[in-house]
Amino acid sequence: MRSLSDTTCAYAGVRSKDGASLGSLRILGPRSLYPVPWPSWRSLVDPGRAEAALEELKGAVAVHLWNELSGGKEEFAPEGSAMEAVARDNCPVALQRARKEKKATEGRHQ
27 has which bridge partners? 20
Same domain assignment for residues 104 and 67: yes
Same domain assignment for residues 55 and 88: yes
Q: What does pTM read for this prediction? A: 0.67
Same domain assignment for residues 16 and 40: no
Same domain assignment for residues 38 and 83: yes
Same domain assignment for residues 64 and 10: no
For residue range 16-39, what is the model confidence (pLDDT) as tens digits? 555 666 677 777 888 888 888 888
Same domain assignment for residues 53 and 81: yes
Q: Which domain holds residue 83?
A: 34-108
pLDDT value at residue 95: 87
Of 7-16, 26-35, 47-56, 78-87, the least confident: 7-16
Same domain assignment for residues 64 and 93: yes
Number of folded domains that form the chain: 2
Same domain assignment for residues 45 and 97: yes
Q: pLDDT grade, residue 84 (50/70/90)?
A: very high
